[in-house]
Structure 1
Amino acid sequence: MRDENEVLDGLMQPRPLTIAHILERAERLYAHKEVVTADAERRTYADVTGGARRLAGALDALGVPIGARVATFASNNRRHLELYLGVPATKRVLHSLNIRLSPEHLEYIVGHAGDDVVFVDRGLLPRIWPSAARLPGVRHWVVLPDGTDTEIPADPRVRDYDELLDGAEPHTGSFEDAFTLADENLASGLCYTSGTTGRPKGVLYSHRSTVLHCLGTLAAGLIGLRESDVVMPIVPMFHANAWGLPYGAMMAGAALVLPGASAEPDHLLRLMAAERVTVAGAVPTVWTSMAPTLRDHDLSATRFLLGGGSAVPAALSETFRAATGVPITHSWGMTEVSPVGVIGGTRTQHRDATPAEQVAVRAAQGQPLPLVNVRIVDVETGRELPRDGTAIGELQVSGPWVAGGYFRVDTPESFTADGWLRTGDLATIDAHGYLRLVDRMKDLIKSGGEWISSVELEAAIAAHPAVAEVAVIGRPDPRWMERPVAYVVLHPGTTATADELTRHLGPMVAKWWLPDEFVFMATLPKTGTGKLSKTELREAVRIA
């Protein structure tokens, strides 16, 4: 007798979602595709996956336990890509370390993570080896050859990567078949936040979350990585899995270009032109550095330029569009969001918009990727606010590649009672689901009881043709509580005065938004991931 109320399970194969599948898919289908590095080394995915298989044997030989954290202190290079694959495919955890960390933060993070082994570029040894004596939990230090002749310490814990792999027995079986369905939730990667407001916090990715995020980067109409692409992650591989671009490229079968440690703009542009790069991703400060010499290079192969980490000024995006035909597309995300949650750009509803309206659309962060949900809530009441493009509230996010907690630390204030991540960003969402960031909650300037958005003020200042970079912060004021101060870097060979910038802003913002002071600087301080560091500017104001 058939039960009309019977609840049925589907009859699909319960195959786990794992990084092992990305490795073996690239090995089977795209073995011939190239991985090009900054030193003109040309390898194939067959070489890279073969290296990952030898790495698996080497980790076994070193006695690195399953589940152990395997740290990398490396730039964007082929050996780092082998670690991206070989470490999680063997059920160990890839812990990418920010190579720009202070020794204090570096030692805290390595100790807190409990790293068992550290793989380090030879040229980066001077940045981390002085901390080795204070990291007794690290049993092995493996040096990645990078063409430099940096002295290698005479220490029994130190090994050469190539020699280690040459002496290892490669793994010959299927990595993917070693995983059960339950194993898709095993940790695959670990990345710590920047720690600008306290101790860095560890975000622990799973195989499942990484694969789903990877598929999100392949979604058509968004980043849409595909087999014909040549993908260049300029964003460092230590920064939230390089925004998922290496995994996405390998899943799609796209070729990869890895630019090494140098962020020198002409180096990046020459590499993009020579390798006919179609997709590249970088933080706005890097795109800004490339803008003056864009027209000196043939970037005609480019189809998609991704910006993230902080707001991309509309003027910068339009500079790239004018020079290459391709604007910089906004994205929004966080280390806690793997990191991409939202992708910008115009959609069909914008076809009849005026050019100025389309520029405004491209200046928004955009729509969430499939499976990601966003909402804005009233900061005081927690009530969800309408999607009308006007209401401003705290941005909250949920989804299968969004963190639900932090590694080895309890931070209930970071999450809502119903499990959404509180981002600390203020935003609007319109009827089409377009997210527009207003500011970080901590970066809003309250002057005379009214709020000033540092993000909008920075965008207006950046629209001046002489301005290369700008950061706006609030300075304590006895009458108004806070007043905006703008720190400005000009393009080489240009001039601008405070009066000129004030006149430029006059038609664009309310009079009481105008900065009390413009401070002209040669460079602005940056965080370890290349974003502007307002923390350092605020500290300088406090001391002054």
Structure 2
Amino acid sequence: MGDAQPAAAWEVPAEVNLHDHVLRSTAAAGDHLAIVDLSRGARREWTYARLRAAVAGLAGWLRRNGVTDDDVVVVLTENSAEFVVAYHGILAAGGVVLALDPRDTAEHWRATIDTCGAKALIAETALKPPESALPVVCVGATTPGGTAWEDAVAAEPAQARPSGGDRTAVLMSSSGTEGVPKLVEVTHRNLTSNLGQIDHLHLVHGDDVVLSVPPLRHIYGMQMAMNPSLRAGATLVLGSTPFSAEDFLRDVTSEGVSLSYLVPSVIAELGKTGRPLPSLRMIVSGGAPLPSTDGTRCAQALGVPVVQGFGMTEAGCVSFSPDGVEVPEGSTGVLVPGTEVKFLGSADGTESGELWLRGPQIAPASADADGWLRTGDLVTRDADGFLRITGRAKALIKYKGHQVSPVELEEVVTSHPAVSEAHVAGVPDPVAGEIPKAFVVLEETVSLAEITAYVAERVAPHKRVRAIERVGAIPRSSTGKRVRPPALRVLVTGGGRGLGKTFALALGASGANVVVAGRDEAALAQTVLEIRQAGGTATHVALDVTDEAAVTSGVAQVINECGGLDVVVNNAGTPGPTGPLWAVDEREWRRAVEVNLFGSAAVTRAVAPVLTGRVVNVVSRAGRVGWPNASAYAASKAALISLTASLAGELGETGRVAVAFDPGLVDAGITRAHLDRGPTGVPWEDEILAWTLRAREAGRFTSTEVAADALVAVATGAADHLSGRYVRVEDVKTERVVSR
């Protein structure tokens, strides 16, 4: 059996329609501001009298156009006053609200409309909604066959007063506990019950000015911001989309905002740029886990509490930080009243266990036969009842049989002073099964090895970050949840054979989207095939790095196919002629410089306008110390090292870097060619061979695996703090490199 939170003064509402439950208490509000809409760049005011009239008018229009009880009406608008009117107008007509994501595709909108059997559509014409034979209300310019918004909301009010109870109020999109998108039927009773549960822990007051950022179509924006604000008779301020910390500071100041519902990405920004604002009393975070460090920084910057709760589409608000109570750092508060809970894998929740819930707010179709909802979230509960989310059961990283929580690691990674954001995910590993990989956004230039060492000092050995990548930003969903950054797009020249092929295979195994370039198309195709057979993503483009036209067209092809480029690895090279400078063929000498130096410069010139991350020029120790009887090779690599330093300065403050990477003496490529050729009887060729053999016998060779791991580390940002420098394998030791 589970245990239940005490109900206190809270009780389940009767068979009331959610619309009546929210707006009936505002009948006397009249001229008080209900909504200030800043979503379209101009300030628009809606009083409660105007809001109620518009809701009633739209309900009447829907009824006269064939919408009856339990019919689905689709809403396709951004956060706006029109969304609020549409939402409550549909409920007042007895219909079911289905709000579509404005960021989605027209094909998906059309499929959803057809699948759900919608009876009407309310759409913002600027979003270019799909053509429909349904009755359509147009927000903005009227489309052929549609009814103007102003005409619809001015229609004769509907007289019916539909009930609520267990009738479906809203169809809401959810990824569910299994990660499969679905529509969840949420009832009037679910939503009205949950509003009462929330009130028991957190109140919106009638004199509050409430700024809402999350989408109102999501449970957080709907049940924490929109409905509680309107039910209290407060003023709801709707910000622009997208929304930034700068927008927040402006809107709070201009509107006198006292309470704001934000997403973690904005809170992270405010921790850096925020300042105290006289009207503000509280910040609420929701939609995704809030790292403790971000919450603390924001609270210090603004001088107000930053609290959070935990919720989901199928269960509304599950827990919240009670008003006026000091909440443990990182907690999502206590359970809302009337909720039964049990922890799968933990008797009392003191150890991390999967959270199961039962209560009147649980969407019926999401629960099992006994009314229990399996959330898929791993949670602990302390002696005072405060919950802490430790991860997702499905998202746990399985490292050598150990379970590692990405959420726990993200908290540790973001506590490093140089890290502003982080996302941790599991990546496949042939030995460990999966290893924890961190994607980090840095506020200052530090070694990624410093960050992995910092984490290693604070976690158990099996929880260490064993791969790390520096990225410009962590993508987020519309509710603020971090999502894994897209695969790194890497171009490797000379990728058909030798060391270039080794690098390409390693990058493919790391999860990068690899493009290999070179002159031998058959060899390139083989490299691509091997990457794909190993489960990676790759393609190829045939080009000669000394042919400017071929480089230009080849890079254009890469950009077109990949949508851009993050990293270029200039590996294409030739050993050049061997022998004294005065004895070798001048044309061969020039050819080596053209390939090794001018080829790298040509590729860099072509990719620079679109490159987002790094130029990695593959060089050699010969470029630092010279190489008698191989002067063309040594001189070209020396020039490439110098070019890299100059390029780093030219990239300046763009966030892009250039590194001269020396993989060491690797038994591949040019070194392998010397070994394969063997003694030739030519003194200088045999001298180079003898030196190579002595180096191998002395243990000065770098293993192919270590060199490849180091290249992957450089490509993913491990040497960004060394931009412009000559970087050796030992300079970029990462946890991934030393853990093999």
TM category, shorter: 0.7 to 0.9
**Aligned pair in 2 of structure 1 residues 465, 159: CA closer, same or farther (>3 Å)?**
farther
Cα distance between partner residues in 2 of 1:315 and 1:102: 36
Q: Work out which of the residue numbers 388, 392, 399 in structure 1 matches 2:359.
A: 399
For residues 410-429 of structure 1, give each alpha carbon's deviation from its aligned partner in whole angstroms, at most 9, with x where no partner exists: xxxxx444221001111112
Q: Work out which of the residue numbers 93, 97, 100 in structure 1 matches 2:100.
A: 97
Matched letter for residue 402 of structure 2 = E
Q: Work out which of the residue numbers 163, 170, 185 in structure 1 matches 2:166.
A: 185
Cα distance between partner residues in 2 of 1:432 and 1:58: 51
Structure 1 counterpart of 2:347: 386
Cα distance between partner residues in 2 of 1:270 and 1:313: 25
Q: Do the aligned partners of 1:117 and 1:140 also contact (CA within 8 Å) in 2?
A: yes
Q: CA deviation at 1:319?
A: 0.8
For residues 487-532 of structure 1, give each alpha carbon's deviation from its aligned partner in whole angstroms, at most 9, with x where no partner exists: 11234xx323302212332432223322222211122233343322
Cα distance between partner residues in 2 of 1:272 and 1:213: 28
Structure 2 counterpart of 1:9: none
- 1:529 paired with 2:516, answer no
Q: CA deviation at 1:50?
A: 1.1
Cα distance between partner residues in 2 of 1:197 and 1:369: 24
- 1:316 paired with 2:311, answer no
Structure 2 counterpart of 1:498: 448
Three-state SS of the structure 2 residue aligned to 1:111 is helix
For residues 309-352 of structure 1, give each alpha carbon's deviation from its aligned partner in whole angstroms, at most 9, with x where no partner exists: 22110000001111122232121111111x2111136976x6xx
Q: CA deviation at 1:480?
A: 1.1
- 1:235 paired with 2:196, answer no
**Aligned pair in 2 of structure 1 residues 30, 211: CA closer, same or farther (>3 Å)?**
farther
For residues 185-226 of structure 1, give each alpha carbon's deviation from its aligned partner in whole angstroms, at most 9, with x where no partner exists: 22221111147956521122222222222222322xx32212
Q: Work out which of the residue numbers 245, 253, 259 in structure 2 matches 1:265.
A: 245
Task: Tell which deviates more after alignment, 393-402 or 502-511.
Answer: 502-511
Three-state SS of the structure 1 residue aligned to 2:274 is helix
User: Where in structure 2 are the equivalents of 1:413-452 lying within 5 Å?
Assistant: 415-452=367-404
User: Where in structure 2 are the equivalents of 1:138-287 lying within 5 Å?
Assistant: 139-145=134-140, 153=143, 155-156=144-145, 158-166=146-154, 168-171=155-158, 178-179=161-162, 183-194=164-175, 199-219=180-200, 222-240=201-219, 242-244=221-223, 245-287=225-267
Structure 1 counterpart of 2:462: 512
Matched letter for residue 393 of structure 1 = G
Q: CA deviation at 1:285?
A: 2.1
Q: Do the aligned partners of 1:470 and 1:488 also contact (CA within 8 Å) in 2?
A: yes
For residues 16-39 of structure 1, give each alpha carbon's deviation from its aligned partner in whole angstroms, at most 9, with x where no partner exists: 354223223222346523421102
User: Where in structure 2 are the equivalents of 1:467-478 lying within 5 Å?
Assistant: 467-478=419-430
Structure 1 counterpart of 2:37: 37
Three-state SS of the structure 2 residue aligned to 1:523 is coil
Q: Work out which of the residue numbers 51, 59, 62 in structure 2 matches 1:59.
A: 62
Cα distance between partner residues in 2 of 1:527 and 1:505: 26
Larger Rg: 2
Q: CA deviation at 1:77?
A: 1.2
Q: CA deviation at 1:457?
A: 0.5
Q: Work out which of the residue numbers 319, 324, 335 in structure 2 matches 1:342.
A: 319
Structure 2 counterpart of 1:409: none
**Matched residues, percent identical?**
28
For residues 110-147 of structure 1, give each alpha carbon's deviation from its aligned partner in whole angstroms, at most 9, with x where no partner exists: 3332222222223322xx43xx4xxx6x61332213xx
Q: CA deviation at 1:241?
A: 6.3
Q: Work out which of the residue numbers 343, 357, 372 in structure 1 matches 2:339.
A: 372
For residues 84-128 of structure 1, give each alpha carbon's deviation from its aligned partner in whole angstroms, at most 9, with x where no partner exists: 221102211111112223455434433332222222223322xx4
Cα distance between partner residues in 1 of 2:314 and 2:467: 35
Q: Do the aligned partners of 1:315 and 1:463 also contact (CA within 8 Å) in 2?
A: yes
Q: What RMSD over aligned residues (CA atoms) do the two structures have, in Å?
A: 2.8
Cα distance between partner residues in 1 of 2:288 and 2:297: 17
Q: Do the aligned partners of 1:30 and 1:253 also contact (CA within 8 Å) in 2?
A: no
Matched letter for residue 35 of structure 1 = I
Three-state SS of the structure 2 residue aligned to 1:184 is coil
Cα distance between partner residues in 1 of 2:199 and 2:452: 44
For residues 219-254 of structure 1, give each alpha carbon's deviation from its aligned partner in whole angstroms, at most 9, with x where no partner exists: 2xx322121211122111121261412111111111
Q: CA deviation at 1:476?
A: 1.1
Matched letter for residue 204 of structure 2 = L
Cα distance between partner residues in 2 of 1:362 and 1:500: 25
Q: Do the aligned partners of 1:329 and 1:344 also contact (CA within 8 Å) in 2?
A: yes
Cα distance between partner residues in 2 of 1:67 and 1:346: 37
Three-state SS of the structure 2 residue aligned to 1:79 is helix
Q: Work out which of the residue numbers 274, 282, 307 in structure 2 matches 1:294.
A: 274
Q: Do the aligned partners of 1:232 and 1:279 also contact (CA within 8 Å) in 2?
A: yes
**Aligned pair in 2 of structure 1 residues 301, 15: CA closer, same or farther (>3 Å)?**
same
Cα distance between partner residues in 2 of 1:15 and 1:428: 35
Q: CA deviation at 1:484?
A: 0.8
Q: Work out which of the residue numbers 84, 88, 93 in structure 2 matches 1:85.
A: 88
Cα distance between partner residues in 2 of 1:418 and 1:517: 43
Matched letter for residue 148 of structure 2 = D
Cα distance between partner residues in 1 of 2:220 and 2:117: 20
Number of aligned residues:
479
Cα distance between partner residues in 1 of 2:339 and 2:68: 34
- 1:73 paired with 2:76, answer yes
**Aligned pair in 2 of structure 1 residues 347, 299: CA closer, same or farther (>3 Å)?**
closer
Three-state SS of the structure 1 residue aligned to 2:205 is coil
Q: Work out which of the residue numbers 441, 459, 480 in structure 1 matches 2:411.
A: 459
Q: Do the aligned partners of 2:288 and 2:480 also contact (CA within 8 Å) in 1?
A: no
